[in-house]
Every structure is written in structure tokens, then in C-alpha cells.
Amino acid sequence: MTPDQLRGFLSFYRDLGVKEIYRRETPQDMKIKAEIIPLAPADDTLERIRLDIGDCRRCRLCEQRNKIVFGAGNEQARLVFVGEGPGADEDAQGIPFVGRAGQLLTQMIDNTAAKEGIPIKRENVYIANVVKCRPPENRTPQPDEMEICGEFLFRQLMTIKPKAICALGSTAAKALLATKDGVTRLRGNWHKWRDIPVMVTYHPSYLLRPYNANAKREAWDDLKKVLHFVYD
């Protein structure tokens, strides 16, 4: 089928009101997938990833963003935190977790480490998000947006090679673990992303809600477990 024929075919079904068309995967498709070059080059660096993102226009999230929020922290970090996506403060500054939720995350890292006798602070870890541009009205990122941006998160994690990852919230957990389970079911136990241990816990924005006292205690327990695993 030529490109013109395909366009005509799709236009015909669009006029009929059909919005989605699915194609069964063939053995040839699976063979091609198996031969795809890995997303993370062997000599990858965070600076190279940042340059590859450029002024990203790969998905609709670029339309309303102010700044791309790449990630921040120690590029040789032994622990990486992964959140959902930038909020208004992060979009304005280009730095992840600088708003109210970010301030709480900083307190959680610094205070828990101090109480547990672990000599680290927020600047010793690395923090990134599943998507690098702020979703409109802070909505949950769409699957295609997560898939497109996931390439860059994948490369960031493969470049840093942390001892452990802490997934903040269900969106980060689903992106890393390819699961439909929520935080309540996943938290407190170790999971794996490409052989790197992953601990899932609540997103700090969820902990800011006044009725989540139990979740706050559970999140601090999760963080203690992560910090001792990585730094003991």
C-alpha cells in the first residue's frame, strides 16, 4: 500500500467516525523489534541526552510549557528519585521538585538521613520526572507522552546507573514497572527496573493533603528503607 492509498484509507474510516484502528503484530514486526538498536548508547552522558532533547517538540506537552525540566542533582548519584512531571514552579524554573511538594521532598531526604545517621542531603541524589514538560493544569501524563519522554528517562537511568530508584507516585511506578497496580499495593517492597532495585512510595504532593497522616508515616518508612539500602 502506497502512502497516498494509506491516507485515503484512513480518511475513509475517519469520515465514518472511526477514531482508532488496531493492527495485529506479525512475526516480522517482532523480528524487527528484536533488532532495534538499544535506546541508550554505550558512551551516553547526561549532557548528550540533554542536547538530544533540545527544544523538544515531540509531543503535545511542548505547546504550553515554559521550560523543559530535565533533571537535577548529583550525576554520579547512588540514589535516583523519579516523579511524575513538572508543576507550575518547576515549569518556571526548569528544576524538578522546587514547589511545595519539592520542599517536602527535600525535608524528607535531609531530615530522614540526619535522623538515621546517614551523611547525605538532597544535593547528593538525582531527581528526574517521567515527563519533562508540564502537563496542562497538572493533569496526569497521557500514555503516548510518557512513552515519548520515557526514552530520555531510560537513558538518564542507564547513564547514572544508581544503586536504587525511588518511584514517587503511581505514574512513576507504572512507567518504571509496567504495572497497573497503585502505590498502596506496591509500596514497602522492592521491585526491579532492569536489575536496579526500585522502591515505590507516595508522591510528596499526595502527602501534603491534611488527611494523609498514615501515608506520611509509610512514606518515611519507605525512605528509611531506601536510604539504608543504598548508603549503609
Q: At 157, is the pLDDT very low, low, confident or very high (cuts 50, 70, 90)? A: very high
Of 153, 166, 151, 154, the C-alpha closest to 202 is 166
Q: Provide the residue ranges of all domains of the chain, joining segments of one domain with +.
A: 44-231
Amino acid 213: pLDDT = 83
Q: d(Cα 69, Cα 87) in Å, to the nearest integer? A: 10
Angle between helix 100-115 and helix 213-231 axes, rounded to 10 deg = 60
Residue type (1 letter), 45: T
pTM: 0.82
Contact 190, 197 (CB under 8 A): yes
The yes-or-no verdict on residue 200 having pLDDT over 60 is yes
Euclidean distance between CA atoms 86 and 128, whole angstroms: 9
Q: Rg of the chain over CA atoms, in angstroms?
A: 20
Average pLDDT over all residues of the chain: 88
Confidence of residue 10 (pLDDT cuts 50, 70, 90): low
The answer to whether 177 and 189 are in contact (CB under 8 A) is no
Q: Is domain 44-231 in CATH 3.40.470.10, yes or no?
A: yes
> pLDDT tens, 55-102?
999 999 999 999 999 999 999 999 999 999 999 999 999 999 999 999
The answer for 201, left when phi > 0, alpha when psi is -120 to 50, beta otherwise, is beta
Q: If pLDDT is split at 50, 70 and 90, which confidence band does 34 have?
A: very low
65: left (phi over 0), alpha (psi -120 to 50) or beta: beta
